[in-house]
Amino acid sequence: MTHRLPSRQRGLGFFGLLLLIVVLGGGGVLLARMVPSLVEYQAVIKAAKRAAGGSSVADARSLFDRTAAVENITSITGRDLEITNPGTDHMVVKFAYQREFPVAGPVFITLKLEGRAPSAAARRELPMPRSIRPSSSTSHSTSKVWRWASPSVATTR
């Protein structure tokens, strides 16, 4: 009669499962605390784009504050905006702010959020000029793809 040694355990044990649940639960709680701020950040970008269409600095701040009231933005106001090139077609609205989330005791997670919104005229891009005669039988963009896809062999001496 031969005795077989018990095989090693495969899979996840009870304490491993508990640790996994604690880590995933803690990450989920932190993510649930941060998602509203990230949604608010998207609303701030939208309000800044609308403010960039203003005709003056005061008009841009007023447009931002009105949009902020509708979108329920509480982290930043029109006074916190940095507006460059006022009164031109290329007005740019910049903003920066931070949000802190308490984790446990003196531990915080800080999100530093910043962005810029050019006016609609500054966002317009001129179309890329087309070449009249390509330099080879393939176009420029296709030649890049073929160069990327071709195998490269390192040579040594």
Confidence category of residue 130, pLDDT binned at 50, 70, 90: low
Residue with tokens 């071709």: 150
Helix (H, G, I), strand (E, B) or coil at 145: helix
Integer Cα distance of 61 and 83 in angstroms:
9
Contact indicator for 131, 122 with CB cutoff of 8 Å: no
Of 4-18, 43-57, 76-90, 124-138, the range with the highest mean pLDDT is 43-57
Domain contains 104: yes
Examine residue 29 and state whether it is found in any structural domain, yes or no.
yes
Specify the pTM: 0.66
- Mean of pLDDT over the chain: 80
Which pLDDT belongs to residue 54?
Answer: 83
Which tens digit of pLDDT belongs to each residue from 32-57?
Answer: 999 999 999 999 999 999 998 888 88
Give the tens place of pLDDT for each residue, 53-78: 888 889 989 999 999 999 999 999 99
Contact between 90 and 18 under an 8 Å Cβ cutoff? The reply is no
Domain residues for the domain of 86 are: 20-125
**Does residue 99 contact residue 69 with C-beta atoms inside 8 Å?**
no
As a whole number of angstroms, the distance between CA 18 and CA 28 comes to 15
Q: Contact, 79 vs 65, CB < 8 A?
A: no
81 in a domain, yes or no?
yes
- How many other CB atoms are there within 10 angstroms of residue 139's CB atom? 13
Of the two residues 130 and 149, the one the predictor is more confident about is 130
DSSP 17-60: HHHHHHHHHHHHHHHHHHHHHHHHHHHHHHHHHHHTT-SSHHHH
Q: How many domains does the chain have?
A: 1
At residue 145 the predicted structure's pLDDT band, cuts being 50, 70 and 90, is very low
Name the band, by pLDDT with cuts 50, 70 and 90, for residue 18.
Answer: very high
Q: Residue 84 corresponds to which amino acid?
A: T
The per-residue pLDDT for range 100-127, each reduced to its tens digit, is 988 888 999 999 999 998 876 655 554 5
